Structure 1
Amino acid sequence: MLNGAPPAIRRLSEINPAIVDTALALFLIITSWLWAVAEPGQGRRPADLPSLALILLVNAPLAARRRAPYAVLVVSVSGAAVYHLLGYHHGLNNMGPLLALYTVAAHRPLRAALVCAAPVVAEWTHASWHVPGVAVWSALGQALVVSGCAVSVGASMRLLESRTRQLAELADRLHREQEAAAHRAVALERMQIARELHDVVAHHMSVISVQAGLGRYVASSEPETARQALEVIARTSSAALTEMRRLLSILRVEPASEDEELYTTTPGLERLPSLVERMRLAGLSIDMTVEGTARPLPPGLDLCAFRIVQEALTNVLKHAGDDARVRIVVTYGPAELALRITDDGRGTRATMSGGHGLLGMAERVKLYRGAITTGPLPQGGYDVAASFPLPPSP
């Protein structure tokens, strides 16, 4: 809670409380001794060895005030009462009992603090009453005021500490829940990707099955057609094996609950125009540019690229505002596919930082050994940029 405080305050908060209490007790003892010697006429008896011993008795127990607040209060009040009954300095040994009362209020229930306030009020009244010109009712009023302040401040500190502890526990619980939600989102996203890859592999196996049947049918009558079917089977099976490896790597996570609906279709970049058209009908102004020569992509990568654009447009629709303008650039390079989706929306994207959409993007890009960067633009808006390595063009 002191992360924003000055360094000196943070260092003080890290000191052992026992050291602080001991230093406070020594300070009260030394200043009281010096004050008693410097003002010998403030009581019926001047400072002597018994008075110095009583000062030590009143203030020394304050070093243990947090560990035994009741005992410290009893000893301190008793010592102060004896000190003033013997006629020593009437202005000294009042702060020790008051600090002990504050400690009781800060670490024990309020009812106990009110009970402990009674002897402090009596001792303070007795000491103040001996000051020349102070009436008993004035001394009593002063004692009630200072004791009430000590109890109020102590009770407030106890309540503040309790609420701070509760807030820390809630923050820790919220952090754990957010981490659990993030892990669950990743697991769900991986399962969804696995289902999509399953569809891709199923497509490959269907092609292999058809081509194998064709090759067997024309093996003797049309050798050239059979050879072409075998080439298609070889290429398709290689692609299917690649996707299957990725599928198996994804499935090495705990399965999601059976009631989650994870099935989805398997579109690709060829369906971007229809996606853009739907988003335009939803109210977005979109400009799409394709740079380089478009070429067939591995089915899983094609699906991954489409999903990233789809998620980015969905986030624009949710967070950027109705008048946002979007630019999509799809770049086919010799060995890389690059996607960039930018907008000039004025809406905040703070909710995206903890959402599941960006987690899904990151998981998809990681699957295909790509890279992705997301973040706000200096002039306003948001930017999503992803790139994927591509196999050489045939």
Structure 2
Amino acid sequence: MPPVVAGALVLNAALTGTAGPIGYALLLGSAALLYFHRTSPRPVLALATACAVAYMLSVEAEIVAGLPAMIALASVVRAGQRSFAVTAALTLTSGMVAAYLLAGQPVVEAVKGGGLVMGWFVAAMAMGVALLGADERAAEAERTREEAALRRAEQERLRIARELHDTLTHEISIIKVQAGVAVHLARKRGDAVPAALEAIQEASGQAMRELRATLEALRDDTVALARLPGLVERTKAAGQDVRLTVEGRPRPLPEPVEQAAYRIVQEALTNVSKHAGDGAAADVVVGYGTAGVTLKVDDNGRAPGSASQPGVGLTGMRERVSALGGSLSAGPRPEGGFSVRAELPA
């Protein structure tokens, strides 16, 4: 667009034959400003207005010189800064009236001419209002699509929860019961209980607990950091030593940040119970800062392998953090155990 506007300005000036080097410089300079009218509408409008008024006063009272300013007017109104646009339009009109007076026109004719020119600037602002309305409608349509996607995701979560409950829970329960009966009968007869059978009983019980936690997560998407004490208490009840510390002043955070923070701590504690070993303790620290929230989950158990090859849990954490523009680090601690640290912006 700037080259087209520059061409129109230069052609018009060439036809009138009154613009000298300074006039062409003002025209080309104002046209070049349009490269930035979307990113910096107010500075562009201020400079384009100054160039147009300078051209009108020093060369001729020509409305075409205000073309870049008109385009910038629409951009400023589109950005929601109408008062600034009105001030610029009045300045341009006043410059045109002053140019008419300097050209020797009567005061009444000069004011009438300025009024007619004002109509062009009003039309430019009206275009900005129309563009702003189109932007708002597009944003509303995007919000509607997002809400529909969230509803579909919630329905899919519930469907998955029902499927898991109807299939896996039933089958794992049967395995656990049968293994328990076999262990009981073996002990009743005085026989040695096979280690594999005890491992099946223990693994099935652990699988049931993890599956219940998964179903709870699928059915409930209203998690928040305020529910962390409850998560810690449930983890303690399962036999894991966990300590929760809150630093800073707790405050409500955006819902996506609250959900991601809760899920990260939940997954980190799940990893502790899986990999840290018996007797391991975990420290959970939630720090509220001005820029967001910091999460730390440290344990003193066994580190689960190399952090360069993360499992599904760590991958899920990284995806949640990346989606919010935060950072995550996870790996073995020098003093032993494993550490997870996440920073989420508010």
Q: TM-score normalised to the size of structure 2?
A: 0.45
Larger helix share, 1 or 2: 2
Larger radius of gyration: 1
